[in-house]
Structure 1
Amino acid sequence: MAIKKYALLTSLMLSVAATGAYAQLQGVINVADSSKIPAKRMAQQNEWLNHSPNEPFPAKPRNMWQLGVYGGAFIIDGDVSPYPGLPGWNVGIQARKALGYVVSVRAQLGYGVTKGLDYKKNPNFLNNANLEPYRSSNGGPGFYVPNFKTEAILPSVDLLFSMNNLMFHKKQSKVNWYLLGGTTPFIYRTKLDLGRGVSADGSTYATMYDYASLPAGFFNQSRKDIKKYLKDNFFDGDYETYARVNDRAQNFDDGGSDKWQIRHSWDIGTGLEFRLSQRLSLGAEIKYVFTQDDYIDGWKFVGGTTAHTPQNDNLILGNLSVNFNIGNSAKRVAPLWQLNPLGYLYNEIQNPTHLQIKPILDDADGDGVVDQFDVEPNTPAGCPVDTKGKSRDTDGDGVPDCRDKELITPTQCQPVDAEGVGKCPDPECCKNIQTPLAACQIGSLPSVQFKSGVKLTAEAEAILAAAAGQIKANPTCKVVVVGYMEQSSKRAEQLSWDRVNTVIKYLVEKQGVSRDRLLFKHGQSGAANTVDLQDATGQSADAYVNPPHPQFQTSK
């Protein structure tokens, strides 16, 4: 009966609260706003903002506390049915803090009072020694009607789980639905109304209730009529006797004691939060508390009595709340359960502000260089090209590598035929010729490509081996090794330096090129995966450059 009444009352409360849910939630968070990030998480935020591959996630922002006041129904779901009319009441304060976007923790402290009044004759006199005068053997009617009043202090700590703030198909919701569970150290004391008037010492009655005076057939009426008559015409409502309890200090306390009892209880529940503005929200909640105590309503089931079940007395709390978000909005976002973290991701996909998305441009000849930058837009299929889209010519003989049958033709053997094969002079006639040193005529030098990091591919090593022969064949020439970057950042500049250093080390250590013939240039604007070898004539470059940002240095 209590549960049915409570369900109806809760429905009414939710309907009233729903009328306040008119405001649109501001439910999307800007995770790129570093002003909301605490100092201890700023390192993570900076790594993410700088597109570090080691940190793909932004830092969790500071979020506001929520403080609130609440009040509503308080019913004991036990052996004695609720008092006729409105149920008991409870009021309290609460504080809630988000642990994440789904889970939050809430502490409450409340006080409540509730009453109960049964509608049946009860012949069980073992519940309280003060009931003995009602026994027929003592001249009583042989029964009594249980009634009680319970005061309760209601502290609790609960975890709340938001069920609908992670939304894939809309920005926000007007209502946040949550489930909860936790602990309630239930503190209570119960009193009974057993007679009219109290003696001076407060332990006996001046006048016992005369149940024999009730009209014939009184208990054959409807329960509603029975309870209404007893409430209005029979009981005086003084609740003068403390009920029997299962006390830890002693096995039982049969009344006369005002000690508060404590039961370590646990609770479950569900609720809705209706947000009215950035700071204000209304709540509606149902909570069921499992107390592990059958004495809360002043009556315990004892085998052999009638019409009651041997269950513990539990609590039903139905509350409306007014809640306020507390904190500096310049430094904190709203409580995280009120936000949809997926909103930022969808906004970035539609209008990128942080994501690095490369456009797809036309490349008609498929050489890897887009048409608008390709100086040779019709490169034959399979021909490797340099960063400008021109077919590579490793030995500079005018025949592209993809058609050159003699990939490295010595300079003295050029010019070459259509297949790139040169004709060298007769050794006998030329063995005493001393070739004078002249200005550098090394010609076109190749480029190498990195797939990722600083490791050379097999193809790149083959190109560098060929280039080493060309360099050593031109002893008067110095070569600039040039590295590029597509955007200006410390990490990109260091990666450009690392790749230039890798190429130089390979030419010196693996191919025997003299180190003093190789000059160092990095951080130039261009394709980051490319390193060019260029004639040093007319160029400004250093023999060696220290790593610009060693904290980002990459090793093989």
Structure 2
Amino acid sequence: PLKKNQGISQLNIRTKTNTMRKVLALYCLLLFQAMPLGAQETETYYLKDEDFRLSPHDSLLIAEMNKKDTIPVWEFGIAGGHVFSIGNVDYLPGVGVGVHFRRALDYIFSVRSDIFYARIRGEDEGNAREFRNDWFSASLLGVMTLNNLKWEDKTRKVNLYALGGIGVNYFETKVRENDLPTRTITGKMAWHGTFGGGISFRIGRRFNVGFEHKVISGFGQRGDLVDGFETITANTHRRTFADIIHYSNVHVNFNISRSAEEEEPKYWLNPLFDVYQELDSIKQVLKQLNDSDGDGVVDLIDREPESPAGAYVDTKGVTRDGDLDGIPDFRDRQPYSPPGVPIDAYGVAKEETETERANVRAIVQEEIAKIEFPQPPPPVIETKTSNWYLPNVYFDAGSIELKPIDHATLLKVAEVMLENPDEKFVVEGNTDLAGSEKANNRLSYKRALAVVNKLVSLGVPREQLLLRWNGEHKTLVEGLHEVNRRVEIRRAKEGETEMPPPE
């Protein structure tokens, strides 16, 4: 600090407060201007089974409607470190602190907004001149990742980058020269340029730390007044260069997102990650469509995936045993043994040498003829709601937004409901296994609510709909498959009620 016995007074508290308000207001303005510059977006086309039954033109239309915009992930950073200026007065060590928000535009480029405060000091040898500067600034920076064109890993452990941009500053400088009274360079807004570079180290999916060095140079006459003294020539009295501020800092950064399913900022990811992810999804689907035991039933629905070679199986892939004697049909020498009769190791009844199919039919028909069946009840006239199918609505990962094609589907569903005003219908939300159980409960509820709101907007009375949710507990297939991210619509069962929202 400046020496009190040499006439240096402290900065007025009210002045500091007003200064901070101005800089914060300006920083917010710059931050809002940065928002529309770009989004961390990817366009992914999902092909569904029905695409293969449509014309090429219709397939392209469905793919166009299934574009997915990834919600951007923001980085919030806190920094602190050493600051000094190079100008007309020798520098003394100073302290600077700051915060920033960073948003990826793609895998290489991102945009960042900074707010920065520093106490900059200097003193010539012999104490002939000294100054103290309270610096406030807000900057909008472009950031370029320098080491992201590598393909071996999904994520980067190190992020090396360069940055540059412009901003506005506000500072006041207290100056003392020899034994003259202290003078003050009053605060005023001015422009400056910033450039630098840094390196960050990935600690986890949500957290990283790093080191950065920035250089700040003011524009115009105030750029040479950081230390309170202008650099002039003897003849022209013209300024020859500006004071340069150097800021070396350690920063701690946090990735902020709205969903557990969202990825990291793209400057941490392999540019081919999306391709690898799609290939893995295709591999999982193809694996489920294999028939590893060759019984004619794909592994996805095969309840006996290792059926013996040559075995007769049912529609679920289970080895058949027609007479339930414990000997599978493909090994049973007497596939229709009489019930309750002892058999040998080959499935042949010990009391009868052979039972022909014709004899079995005769016995069965004789026994059926002895049964007195009751008279059938009068025929029931089925209503149009006694046997129907209502389609499901599917969602992208982490999304509660209806796809364009679903609006037409729900219009038809609404017509069915309006034709049956005395019936109640269940709208039941589900998710895949990505994310925590608590987050999936909320996500399944919001998906069901989106469908309910759409049906109500189409004229269906709200009291006709029962909203229910299952979270991740009713997945149909393994893996992060779209069929698990669904909302089912069905006729309500007797006594079924609406569920309250999850906690």
- Answer whether TM exceeds 0.5 for this pair: no
**TM-score, normalization by structure 2:** 0.41
Q: Which has the larger radius of gyration?
A: 1
Q: Which has the higher contact order (CA 8 A, sep 6+)?
A: 1
> What is the TM-score normalised by the length of structure 1?
0.37
